[in-house]
Structure 1
Amino acid sequence: MHIIENQYLGLALKNPARAAVLKDAAVFAANAYAEAVGVSEVATKRDVLNRMLLFLLNPYTPNYLLTEPAQQVISRIKVGDLFDIEILRTLPENKTLFYNFLVGKDRVLYCEWNKNELYVIDLQRYADSPAIKRSVSLISLTASPKLFDPTTVEAIRCLMFLNLTAPELIQLAAGKKLGTRAQGHYNATSLPVVLVDSTWNKYLVRTEGFEVSGHFRLQRCGPGNAELKLTWIKPYQKHGYVRLPKTEGLPKETA
C-alpha cells in the first residue's frame, strides 16, 4: 500500500493549508455538542470550542487507516435495536481517548471517548463537490440509547473492531517503508499512520452444500468471565469441510 497524504481526507486535513476546514468543523461540532448537553454560558461554550479544536488539530492523535479487508469485517458487525451499548464500558472509564479512523480515502471519523461519552465528528468529501459534508453524534452510557444514526453505528463498529478483537496493527512512521515494493507498505505522508488489517479471512468454504456465513460473537473471557471479547466465527460448511483459500478476501454472503 502506498499512502499519499492528499489522497486520504483525514491526513490531508492535517496539512496547515487546510487548517481553516478543520477550524470550521470544530465550530460546527462545538455548537452541536453545546446544544446536545444544554450548554448556554459563553465561557463554557468557549471551553467546548477549544476542546474541539484540540480534538481535530492534535497531531499526536493516532491515524488508524482501515484496510479493505478490515472494512469488510467491520461492516459485518451488527449495531441495531438489540445492540447493548454497555459493551462500550470495556473502554477505560476515567481516561480520555482519541481516534482518527480513516474509512477509505474520502471519509474520516474523529472519535472522542470521555467519561462514558462517545462524541463523533464525521467528515466526508465527494468527487463532484469541493465541500466537506459534516455530521456529529453524541451518545452517553447514562442515556442508554436504542436508536443509532449512521455516524454512531460506524464509530461503534470501528471501536469494537479495534478494542475487542486482535486486528493486525502495522505502525508506519512518516516517510517510512516496510516490506518489499511488491508486497510492502510505504507511508509517503508527513504523519505517522497505523494500518489496521484483518486476519480473519484466512479460511474459506470450498465445498457444496449448506454454507454458514462468517459472523461475530461476543464472548466472555478473563477472570470470572468479567471481560468481553469480540470473536470472529469463521464460515463453515455443514456436511462438508473447510480448507485454506488460495486467495485473500472475506467469503461472500449466501442467500
Structure 2
Amino acid sequence: MSEVLEGRSALITGAAQGIGAATARLFAARGAKVVVADVNEEGGKETVAAIERDGGEAIFVRADITSAADVEAAVAATVGAYGRLDCAVNNAGIEEQGSALHEVTEEAWDKLVAVNLKGVFLSMKYEIRQMLAQGGGTIVNMASVAGLVGLPLGISDYSATKGGVISMTRTAAIEYVKQGIRINAVCPGVVRTALLDQAIQGGMFTEEQAAGLHPTGVLIDPADVAETFAFLCSDASRHITGQSIAVDCGMSAG
C-alpha cells in the first residue's frame, strides 16, 4: 500500500496547507515525486520540508491558478523536474463569508469564479495538453458536497463554482477517456481546515453546528480526503472516470 504511487510524478495545487498539504505528504509517502504549487510560498516550502523530512521527494513552485502563464509554468516545472506529469490534483480553491444570494457582491462572485472555476479550467487545460503528449495520466479536481446538494448556508455563489467543477469534470472525462486520461472529482463535506476555522470565526456557524451538518456528527480530517485523492490516482481506480466521489459522512445521501 505504501508504494501504490511509486515512481509517479504529481502536481498538487493549493498544497501549502489543509487538504492540499495532507495530499502532498500522502502522495510522497506512497512513492510519488511531488510538485507543491501554491501562492503561499512559506506554507508551500513548509510542505516540501515536511515531505523531505519523511524521506520523500518534492519541489515547490509558486503558482496562481488564475494565471494561465503560472499554470503552464507549473506543469512545465513538473515535467522539467520529473520527466512527465502522471497525476494532477487540482485542489486550490477559496471560500467567501457566507451571504444570501441577493447580498453577494459582484467582486466576491468574480473572485470565487476566477479561483474555483477558471482556476480548475486552466489547470486541466495545461495538464491535459501534457498528458496527451505523453500518452495518458490522471486528474482529480476538488469539488464539494455543496456542488451536489443545496445547503442553507449562504453559499450559493460557492456552490455554483463547485457545481461547475463537477460538470466540467464529467464532460472532460468523456472527451479524453480514449486518450488514456482519467478525470474525477472529490466532493468533501465539512473538513477541519483553516478555511473552516475562518468560517467559524466569521460567525457563519459554530464548530458544533458544522459537525452537525454530517449525519455522523463529526468533522472530516484532511488526511481522509487525501486518501481519496490517492485512490483516484492509483491503478486501483483504473476503471473509474467522470465520477464525483462524496467524502461527506453521508451528508449528500439525505
The alignment's TM-score, normalised by the length of structure 2, stands at 0.25
More helix by proportion, 1 or 2? Answer: 2
Which is higher, the Rg of structure 1 or of structure 2?
1
TM-score by length of 1: 0.25
Tell me which protein shows more strand as a share of its residues. 1
